[in-house]
Amino acid sequence: MPVSVLWLIGNALKRTPKVPDQLIPYVLGIMGVAGCSVWVCATRNTTALSLFTAFTQGILVAGTSVWGNRSL
């Protein structure tokens, strides 16, 4: 689900003339990390491992969203 949400946000940002295309992966990366952090911290105890997990998942989700958009 996070990949599809970021994909839709990325498409909306791409259609916005005020947002340069080079900035979109960074925005999606920040949103992916923030979303995964909320999810992981809400379902687990907040430890260093869960913060690392959230960061890693956020980067992977954003990367998949950007790569999926580029492959089409």
AA letter at 65:
S
Q: Would you give the DSSP letter of residue 26?
A: H
Alpha-helical runs (H) found in the chain: 2-15, 24-43, 48-71
Q: What is the pLDDT of residues 10-40, one digit of tens each?
A: 999 999 999 999 999 999 999 999 999 999 9
Q: For the chain, what is the mean pLDDT? A: 89
What global pTM score does this model have?
Answer: 0.84
* Res. 41: pLDDT tops 90: no
Phi, psi of 46 (to 5 degrees): -80, 105
Helix (H, G, I), strand (E, B) or coil at 34: helix
Q: In angstroms, how far is CA 69 from the centroid of its own chain? A: 13
